[in-house]
Amino acid sequence: LSQAETQGIIPKRVNHFIRQHWQEDAKPGSFRLRVKIHKTPIGARPIMNLSKAWIQPLSCFLVDALKPVMNAAPHVIQSSDQLLDKIRGTQVPPGFELATVDIKNLYPCIDHSDFKAKMGNRLRRIWADRFAFASLILELMSVLLQLQDVNFHDEIWAIIKGFATGLSAGVGLANAYLA
């Protein structure tokens, strides 16, 4: 990050923002189960809360940095609210039905190596004129994926496949991967 700042790839304030919680007493995320009472049968989803984790500012930065990637994939919808906004006022012709597709357990199923290969290609296309920035974003995504640690029963667990469900950049990363 310091080298990227020195080379003018990112401003000093971005470097400071990303690194604001990088110290010796940095905290990992925490783990909990979220009961899904609206499902039949009732189930639960594991949630890795990274809101207070030291990597959260990096994840937030990647949310903003990935906006051009998401804008280049207009067919990917990030939420039901976004879907409703897009279809508001749409008239479905007789004989047609509106359908959506969702992927069950997408976050935990994405292989990091495959993700990085696909994202590397995508980032280099999006930022063809800013190769150094694309390389930095790819490197920061790699760091983020390697350091998704959560605390559960006083043990630190590393996520080695997929994205933590509480990762703020998780939706953007998953949607960019699908695109």
Question: For 77-119, how does the pLDDT look when each residue is reduced to its tens digit (9 = 90+)?
Answer: 767 788 888 889 989 999 999 887 777 777 778 899 999 999 9
What DSSP state is assigned to residue 9?
Answer: S
Q: Is the pLDDT of residue 76 over 70?
A: yes
User: What's the chain's average pLDDT?
Assistant: 85
Give the H/E segment covering residue 114: helix 112-126
Both tokens of 102, joined, read 């969702």
Which CA distances in Å does 8 have to 3, 5, 11, 49, 161? 9, 5, 6, 33, 33
CA end-to-end span of the chain: 28
The highest-confidence range among 21-35, 73-87, 141-155, 162-176, by mean pLDDT, is: 141-155
Q: Is the pLDDT of residue 17 over 90?
A: yes
What phi, psi does 25 have (nearest 5°)?
A: -95, 25
* 144 against 39, higher pLDDT: 144
* 6 against 102, higher pLDDT: 6
Q: Is the pLDDT of residue 123 over 70?
A: yes
Query: How many whole angstroms separate alpha carbon 68 and alpha carbon 45?
Result: 30
Mean pLDDT of 42-71: 84
Share of the chain above pLDDT 70, in %: 98
Contact partners, residue 137, CB within 8 Å, separation at least 6: 62, 65, 66, 123, 127
Beta strand 43-49 pairing with 29-36: antiparallel
Mean pLDDT of 113-137: 92
Q: Which of 12-16, 74-78, 122-126, 142-146 has the lowest mean pLDDT?
A: 74-78
pLDDT given for residue 78 in this prediction = 67
